[in-house]
Amino acid sequence: MTSSLLASLSLTAILVAIFFINIDRKPKELPTTMSSSTSLIPIVALGVYRDVAATMDPLFASTPFSMTAILDLKQDPPSVRYSAQNLWTVLFNLHPRPKVFITGAAISHAMTAESITVWDSYVRESKVKDAFVINLCDEPPPGGDWMTHIMSKLRERYGKWEA
């Protein structure tokens, strides 16, 4: 196969994966303390295993946050696993535009740096306002409690919310 055909197939696989990740989700209601003009804050995560990042969904239930895409290193088929190009494709194809990028603690320093470079370029080119990175690789959570750490960072950045 030619490289352009492979690239096209990879893009199609990524978009299909994003569709099926989100198809079973019900529309999210905004927390009661947020105004009706406030929108959800989409999150993209990078981790070794998809299911680890997916465990955040229950924590986001009464918040303005939504895990809209997860890239990992183990997903099948391999063409939809993390790569700088796949991250770029996902970021530019999601709507609403992602505002938060989370890198997992088990991601290598080199891959973390590469993914944050892609994220920074995306933010610059798409003019996303109030974008935020939570880097668990370089800033590991105290005591290893990454869920509490992520929620704490999101509260610090975007304020408090109530169910």
Q: Give CATH superfamily name and number for 3-26+38-158.
A: AF0625-like (3.40.50.10700)
Q: Delimit the domains of the chain by residue range.
A: 3-26+38-158
Note the pLDDT of residue 25. Answer: 47
Report helix, strand or coil for 66. strand
What does pTM read for this prediction? 0.77
**Would you state the pLDDT for residue 10?**
55
Closest CA to 70 of 126, 5, 115: 115
Q: What is the pLDDT of residue 23?
A: 40
Determine how many CB atoms are found less than 10 A away from the CB of residue 46: 27
pLDDT tens across the length of the chain (163 residues): 555 544 444 544 554 444 444 444 444 444 444 333 357 899 999 999 988 888 888 889 889 999 999 999 998 899 999 999 999 999 999 999 999 999 999 999 999 999 999 999 999 999 999 999 999 999 888 888 999 999 999 999 998 776 4
What are 68's strand-pairing partners?
Answer: none
Would you give the DSSP letter of residue 74? S
